[in-house]
Structure 1
């Protein structure tokens, strides 16, 4: 056990849902004291920054109930049980945008909120786009549009793009493009 580890003594599942589960852990702290941790368990997700041959990013506009507003995001979705992140990325891109990609690159991954959730998001770059089959979930209502990186940055400033995964992916892509120019 490293010097910051917490040992789970007891775990109780409070809620099991379609997207998340919630559990409460009784933990022993590094100093020997006891505490409780409320943890959101999530199977993980993917996000796809799809770039056209004109250097435009494909964005999906949709209403987000927890926010009570519509925002623009890169295509994304939850991993199914046992699903490989790349396969999930390919599935989500086609389902949400009707596009398929000829070239895939894993860019990075990150934890969304490590203070209370174990969700990890894998970000993929999709290039060489062509038409596929749009196949939205029955409760999914989206509209796709394209934006240059400069336009996407303006959408971030206006809080139209207002989620961490999309902002992170756009900034990551900007960083890659900056490095390539050097």
Structure 2
């Protein structure tokens, strides 16, 4: 019997289906774990996903609102975006925070690493807590039409709990920070 933690999939061929500066889609012909032929599609992300929970001295945080094209809905979420693979995730987090909110943080903690949708993609996410904040001018990208809201963290936690916030990175990061608060780590 094969070790259950070893790869049970065999690739017989692969074809590049789509490629742009952000993603690559590959279709694989495979022999699946039951030994039968099959097909699998994979979305490869060319950036890391980065998200930042901010906490000021009064336990307020910042949310960014924007219309999300893929889901055809307006979304309130943490400052987040893509960090190039060639730079440290913390540098991408600093850039995203300044770009979207105008904030510079002088205290950073990595709080979580996770895969966002490991059934179809390899997108890896890094979540950070940013504290000791200083306000500067935001520098949004030309594709971003953003609103920024400063709210008590407890209100954002409630928004996650009642389903007003559905962005997976925001949900995971807010729940992680709430746990850190309950454990006395913040």
Q: Output the TM-score relative to the length of structure 2.
A: 0.89
* Range that drifts further, 121-130 or 148-157: 148-157
Q: 1:85 aligns with which of 69, 86, 89?
A: 89
Instruction: Report 1:59-74 matches (<5 A).
Output: 59-74=63-78
Q: 1:22 aligns with which of 20, 25, 43?
A: 25
Q: Does the Cα contact within 8 Å between 2:57 and 2:132 map onto a contact in 1?
A: yes
Query: Which residue of structure 1 aligns with residue 51 of structure 2?
Result: 47
* Range that drifts further, 129-138 or 95-104: 129-138
CA RMSD of aligned residues (A): 1.8
Deviation at 1:150, TM superposition (A): 2.1
Query: Which residue of structure 2 aligns with residue 142 of structure 1?
Result: 146
Q: Does the Cα contact within 8 Å between 1:52 and 1:58 map onto a contact in 2?
A: no
Q: Does the Cα contact within 8 Å between 2:160 and 2:174 map onto a contact in 1?
A: no
Q: Does the Cα contact within 8 Å between 1:50 and 1:58 map onto a contact in 2?
A: yes
Q: Distance in 2 between matches of 1:105 and 1:81?
A: 19
Aligned length: 181
Query: Which residue of structure 1 aligns with residue 10 of structure 2?
Result: 7
Q: 2:174 aligns with which of 164, 170, 174?
A: 170
SS of aligned partner of 1:93: helix
Query: Which residue of structure 2 aligns with residue 127 of structure 1?
Result: 131
Deviation at 1:159, TM superposition (A): 3.8
Q: Distance in 1 between matches of 2:161 and 2:184?
A: 25
Q: 1:75 aligns with which of 79, 90, 96?
A: 79
Q: Distance in 2 between matches of 1:27 and 1:82?
A: 31
Q: 1:38 aligns with which of 20, 23, 41?
A: 41
